[in-house]
Structure 1
Amino acid sequence: MLHIAIVDDNPSDIAIIKEYLTGYFKKRAGSSPIDYTLSAFQDGFSFLSSFSCAAYDLVFLDIYMPRMTGIDVARRMRLVDDGVKIVFLTTSKEHALESYSVFASAYILKPIAENQSLFVSALNRLLPDEMMSGRKLTVHLAGQSTLEIPFARILSVDCNNTRNAVVHLEDKDIPTQNTYQELSALLATDERFLECYHRLTINMDYVTSMEEDLFHLKGNHTAPISRRKKKEVKQGYLQYLLDK
């Protein structure tokens, strides 16, 4: 499931954004409905109280809000989650350059009706088909809490010295209480994932190149290729490229 948040102090603007998103997903889905949630907040504080790593896939932020601006909200978000996509929807170009400091994915001026093509192109770019499929991995964390991680954001999964699985995103590592066997079995049901080494599964969408004994992944990460399974691993990766 795709999780989207809208943070805007103007209820009318929230309603308009919801209307455009509903129309976009209906048109893009065709005969296969897209599973998503829309959560709305009228100030940054209430939003941040519900925010955690991987809680949302996409967040629409107004900039001019009382007590805390959208830029300030985004800065606090980035302390927790470097991967969530942020789109600013606001009435002024004044903070466009500043939005780069929080790695915003788009900056669109209101009203949306006057910039509808930018709105649609941003969604097309930020929500690739694999993310729209909505598959998520549910992991158990310390303290009996759970976390849903989109398959599309998982770089790799391996295990630590206690044999518990660690989920690696491009920007952070998430230790879990699950065993590696549990999570690797779930990931094996998705064609993007390949066990390239003993207790190491990678997301092939993140592979940038393959050497004799090594995969290079986005973000300067690497993953070794098992000598014993080298032929099988390489064939699996090449077949994945052919099938894409």
Structure 2
Amino acid sequence: MDTPLRIAVCEDTLDDAEFLLKCISESAIPSDCRVFSSCKTLLADFIPGYYDIIFLDIYMDNMQQGIDVAAKIREMDPVATLAFTTFSKGHALDAYRLKVFAYLEKPVRFEDVRDVLEHARNERNDAPTIQLLIERRHQEIKLDSILYFEQKNQIVILNTLSGILRTSQSVKLRDIEPLLPDYFFRCHHSYIANLNYVAELDQDLRMFRMQNGDSVYIRRQSLGKAIKAFEHRLFEMVREDKHEKIQ
């Protein structure tokens, strides 16, 4: 049985919210929905990495608030599936910039809503994970939610979109490193960085600046490889983004 999709619906019109929930229910795809009547309440509740889908009305209280909120959400969570709901056709460029999966014109169609749900379900099911003992139980952690790993004595700390996790077992980064895809880079004996979340590389201070503001150090002998790996990943991300938009 599928784990329910965690969905946020941000609509300030009750009829629109109820119709969207009806479409979600009739899709027969298990879901757990939360409804927000304002952008402010959505942002106050928002936890990076928690929601699989966010349906967001572009115009709230007759103002173009949805675009700004989507930008803030993307800064915190680059993975969640975003879907705009709107009466306007004039925000396609904003949708492209913010990597919005779907642009649903109101009244939304059942088929379009189901497409969003199926996409999010496939993304979640296909996402690579790592299994570690966290809080004394085995947990599968999405690799796309991890900014970096940090060795602390005999345990490993996972710095994720939604917060910090600590292993309950003695484990070394050398045991974790072979399990990771190539966009993770071992830059230091105490750190493995997810290059997807590197905001910049400071060569003078020899560190990655992560998107959440943290600093991840690079050992001197790895600086050249770090530069090449970061530049290569930037190129790959641009190419992947173009490929997604063509499909």
Q: Could you say whether these structures have the same fold, taking a TM-score greater than 0.5 normalized by the shorter chain as the test?
A: yes
Instruction: Give the Å deviation of 1:96.
Output: 1.5
Which residue identity is paired with 1:179?
T
**2:76 aligned partner:** 80
Distance 1:218 1:106 in 2: 26
Mapped contact 2:133–2:169 kept (Cα < 8 A):
no
- Letter in structure 2 aligned against 1:38: C
Which residue does the alignment assign to 2:152? 161
2:122 aligns with: 128
Query: In 2, distance between residues paired with 1:80 and 1:156?
Result: 11
Alignment counterpart, residue 169 of structure 2, candidates 181, 192, 207: 181
Q: In the alignment, is residue 8 of structure 1 matched against residue 11 of structure 2?
A: yes
- Give the paired residue count: 179
* TM value normalised by structure 1: 0.58
Which residue of the partner structure matches residue 95 of structure 2? 99
> TM-score when scaled to structure 2?
0.57
User: CA distance change for structure 1 residues 98 and 123 in 2, over 3 Å: closer, same or farther?
Assistant: same
> Contact conserved, 1:156 with 1:200, CA < 8 A, in 2?
no
Structure 2 portions without partners, runs of 5+: 184-193, 199-247
CA shift, 1:197, in A, is 4.4
Cα distance, 1:99 vs. partner? 1.4
* 1:67-91 CA-partner distances (Å, limit 9, x unpaired): 6611111111122222221111111
Within the alignment, does 1:51 sit opposite 2:46 as a pair?
A: yes
CA distance in 2, matches of 1:138, 1:90: 43
CA root-mean-square deviation: 4.0
CA change 1:152–1:110 in 2 (3 A) is farther
The alpha-carbon distance between structure 1 residues 201 and 48, as it changes in their structure 2 partners (threshold 3 A), is farther
Amino-acid identity (%): 22
Q: Give the secondary structure class of the aligned counterpart of 2:33.
A: strand
**Is the contact made by 2:151 and 2:157 (CA closer than 8 Å) also made in structure 1?**
yes
